[in-house]
Amino acid sequence: MLLNTEKMIPVTKLQRELTQRLREVSETGEPLFVIRNNLPAAVILSSEEYESLKEAEDILEHLEIAEVIEKRLKGHNHTKNIPWERVKKKYAL
């Protein structure tokens, strides 16, 4: 992953400039990469970007579930289906 070095900040500097940097992230939507011991330690995202990533994660999860269902249905024999009414009756649901 390539990181924009202009958007990298050591954690000690971030401690001094937190309010300003949070404002920048919020206004520009650009992430801020926090560096500790010369290694990426965290990423600060705008709330909008975070929500977009969470939505994308949900979509991917649904696609993965759909793929699993499709694979399972390929070998499924529909003649062996048990009607829901019979299951409810058998287990007093």
* pLDDT tens-digit series, residues 4-56: 777 899 999 999 999 999 999 999 999 999 999 999 999 999 999 999 999 99
pTM above 0.75, yes or no: no
> 10: Cβ–Cβ under 8 A, 6 or more apart, which residues?
34, 35, 36
Domain ranges of the chain: 1-45, 47-76
Give, in words, the CATH class of 1-45. Answer: alpha beta
- Quickly state the pLDDT bin for 2 (edges 50, 70, 90): low
